[in-house]
Amino acid sequence: MVRRVAVIGAGVGGLASIKCCLDEGLEPTCFERSEDIGGLWRYTDSMDCGRVSVYRSVITNTSKEMSCFSDFPCPEDFPSYLPHGLLLEYFRMYAQHFNLLRHIRFKTTAVSVRRCPDFATSGQWEVVTETDGIRESHVFDAVMVCTGHYQEPYLPLASFPGINTCFKGQYLHSKEYKDMETFRGKRVLVVGIGNTGGDLSVELSRVAAKVFLSARTSTWVFSRVSDHGFPLDMINTTRFNHFLDWLLPSALTRRIRFQKFNSWFNHANYGLASTKSSSFKVIINEELPFCLLSGTVVLKPNVKEFTENSAIFEDGTIEENIDVVLFATGYIFSFPFLEESVRSLIDNNHSLYKCVFPPQLERPTLAIIGLVQLTGSVMVGTEMQARWVTGVFAGWNKLPPTSRMIADVLKKKPPVKRNPSERENLKMSFISYTDEIASCAGVKPNMLRLLLTDPRLALAIFFGPCTPYQYRLVGRGKWSGARNAILTQWQRTLKPLRTRVVDDSSSGSSSWCWMCLLALPVVLTAGFLLSKNPRPGWSLQVGPQL
C-alpha cells in the first residue's frame, strides 16, 4: 500500500501532483531545488544554478480557459493569454487555496533516487536529498518525477561547421536569453523557427540592426486571435473538430487544414511552407508575418557553415557581418538523479506506458509527470496524468499486465527515431491523449449519457472548447462547480475585454438554439462512433502549447 510519495519539482506538474496526492489521502513531500514554485514559468534575470526559466516578454500560447487546473478556474479578470507574471500569480493562488506549500521543501535537491533492495516486493525507493550541503536519506513508497522536458539545452554545434572553430562572433542558446537590450544595434542570426525562435526574432527586430531567421522545415504560422476575435485554441480544440478529423479521410482533412493555414496569408509567398510539404510544424506568432513583410526579419534556409564573420546557407547565399548567433534549438530531458538501470528505461516518453509509467518495473511506483508533447496545453495533460497516477498509487486504478503495457508502448512508438530538435513535429492529439488518460482514471465524460440527462451541457461540451472542467463532471475528484464553469467559460473569456462597453443590440441567441437542435443527431452519432472506435493518439501538431 502506497502512503508516502516523493514529488520532485514544484512546477506545474509538482503542484498538481501534490494536490492529487492529498485528494487520494496520500502523504506527499515535494523537493524543489530553488526557493520558490513555478518551475520554468518563474522568471529570473540571473541564471541561478542552471535553472531554465522563460524570457522577460513571454506570454502563454494557450488561453487561460484551456490551460487552467480543472477544479480551479483562472480569475475572470485575468486576460485570456497570460504574461509569465500573471501565470505565476495564478500558481500561487492555487497553492494557497489548496494549502500545498507546507508539503514543499525548498532549496532541496534530489541527488539520487534508487530502488530499495526489497523493491520487487515493497516497491519502495531510497531518495537522497541535499539542503545547504547536508545530505539526507529518505524511504518513500512511490516517486513522482515532475521536472518536465525543458531541462538541458540542445545545442547541435556539430551540425554547423565552423561555429566553434572559425566564427569570431558570439553564439548562445535561447536558454541564456532574457531581454533584447544586449542585442541593440547588432546583426543577429536566429537558428530555429519554433515558437521561441519566432518570438525572439520579432522581439530582436525592434532593436537589432538586422535579424535573420534560419528555418530548415516548413512552418505554418497561426495567430492567437482566431475567428471573431476569440482565442485560437477555444475555437479549434473542440470535440466536434476532433470528430471531423476522425470521420473524414486523412487526405481531405490535410487539404482542409492547409486551406485554413493559408486563410490568413499565403505561406508560400513568405517562404515559410508549401501545401506540398510532407512534414511541417505550427507556431503561434501574430507579428512574424508583418516583420517578414516589412523586412525587419529576413527568412533564410538552413545554415551550411560559418566563417569568421558570416553564415553560408544551403541555397548558397551568404550573410556577412553576423555579430550574434542565437540557437533556438530546443531542449533535451535527463534524469541524472535516477539510478542508471532505471534511467535506461526512459530513453524518451515513447518508452513509457501512456507516457507515464516505465512498464518494465516490478512495481508501478515510479511515474514521470509532464514528459508529454500535446497539440494543446501540456498543463492540462500533466494534471490528468497526476490524477491517474495517484489513483493507481491509492489502489483505485489498476494497470494492465506488463506484457500488455509493453505491447501498447511498441504499438504507439513513432516509426522513425527523431533527434531532439525534431520531436516538436510529432505530437499527440490533445483531446485523444487527455481522453485516454481520463478513461484510465474513470473520469472521462460520457457524451451519450449527458445528452440524455443534460442536453445543454452536452452540446456545450461537444461544440464548445474542450476545457479541463469537462474532466471534473464524473468519477473520483468530481467537482460540483464543473458544470457552471463550462457554461460560463465564454463569459470569463470576454470579461477582461469589457473595459469599454459599446452598444451591440445584435443577438444570435435564437439562431444558436436552432443550431443546437439540428446538432442533436450529430452528437448522438459522434458519441456512439467514437465510443466504438476511439481515435489513435498520435497526430501532427495542429495547435498551440502552453
Q: 325 and 167 in contact (C-beta within 8 Å)?
A: yes
Average pLDDT over residues 480-505: 94
Residue spans of alpha helices (H) in 319-370: 340-343
**Whole-number average pLDDT of the chain:** 91
Q: Is 279 left (phi over 0), alpha (psi -120 to 50) or beta?
A: beta
Give DSSP secondary structure letters for 231-279. BHHHHHSBHHHHHHHHHS-HHHHHHHHHHHHHTTS-TTTTTS--TT-SS
pLDDT at residue 130 above 50?
yes
pLDDT at residue 545 above 50?
no
How confident is the model at residue 277, as a pLDDT? 80
Average pLDDT over residues 179-193: 96
Q: 67 and 60 in contact (C-beta within 8 Å)?
A: yes
Q: How far apart are the first and last CA of the chain?
A: 35
Average pLDDT over residues 25-43: 96
Give DSSP secondary structure letters for 368-426. E-S---BSS-HHHHHHHHHHHHHHHHHTSS-PPPHHHHHHHHHHHS-SS---GGGGGGE
How confident is the model at residue 517, as a pLDDT? 57
pLDDT digits (tens, 9 = 90+) for 7-20: 999 999 999 999 99
pLDDT at residue 518 above 80?
no
pLDDT class of 47 with cuts at 50, 70, 90:
confident
pLDDT digits (tens, 9 = 90+) for 191-238: 999 999 999 999 999 999 999 999 999 999 999 999 999 999 999 999
Note the pTM of the prediction, 2 decimals. 0.92
Nearest to 200 by CA among 74, 136, 287, 72: 287
How confident is the model at residue 49, as a pLDDT? 64
pLDDT class of 347 with cuts at 50, 70, 90:
low
pLDDT class of 22 with cuts at 50, 70, 90:
very high
Average pLDDT over residues 32-47: 92
pLDDT digits (tens, 9 = 90+) for 257-305: 899 999 999 999 999 999 888 778 999 999 999 999 999 999 999 999 9
pLDDT at residue 420 above 60?
no
Nearest to 260 by CA among 58, 459, 214, 244: 244
Nearest to 72 by CA among 4, 15, 156: 15
How confident is the model at residue 424, as a pLDDT? 46
Point out which residues pair with 32 in neighbouring strands: 106
How confident is the model at residue 140, as a pLDDT? 98
pLDDT class of 151 with cuts at 50, 70, 90:
confident
Which amino acid is present at 340? E
Which amino acid is present at 222? F
How confident is the model at residue 524, as a pLDDT? 61
How confident is the model at residue 51, as a pLDDT? 81
d(CA 295, CA 360): 54
pLDDT at residue 505 above 70?
no
d(CA 527, CA 524): 5
Strands 109-115 and 125-131: antiparallel
Q: 418 and 217 in contact (C-beta within 8 Å)?
A: no
d(CA 105, CA 125): 18
d(CA 179, CA 186): 14
pLDDT at residue 247 above 90?
yes
pLDDT at residue 248 above 80?
yes
pLDDT at residue 543 above 60?
no
Taken in order of first residue, the domains within the chain and their CATH numbers are: 4-151+333-416+424-430 (3.50.50.60), 156-329 (3.50.50.60)
Task: Flag the least confident range among 172-181, 307-316, 344-353, 367-376.
Answer: 344-353
Q: Is 38 left (phi over 0), alpha (psi -120 to 50) or beta?
A: left
Rg (CA), the chain: 24
Sheet holding 318-319, edge to edge: 303-306, 311-313, 318-319
pLDDT at residue 526 above 80?
no
How confident is the model at residue 1, as a pLDDT? 75
pLDDT at residue 141 above 80?
yes
Task: Flag the least confident range among 194-203, 251-260, 472-481.
Answer: 251-260
How confident is the model at residue 529, as a pLDDT? 63
Of residues 278 and 163, the one with the higher pLDDT is: 163
pLDDT at residue 539 above 50?
no
pLDDT at residue 58 above 80?
yes
pLDDT at residue 365 above 70?
yes
pLDDT at residue 419 above 60?
no
Average pLDDT over residues 439-443: 97
How confident is the model at residue 511, as a pLDDT? 52
**Measured between alpha carbons, how far is residue 473 from residues 208, 445, 467, 485 in Å?**
51, 7, 12, 11
Strands 4-8 and 27-32: parallel
d(CA 483, CA 477): 14
Of residues 210 and 542, the one with the higher pLDDT is: 210
% pLDDT > 90, the chain: 81
Average pLDDT over residues 346-350: 69
pLDDT class of 501 with cuts at 50, 70, 90:
confident
How confident is the model at residue 86, as a pLDDT? 98
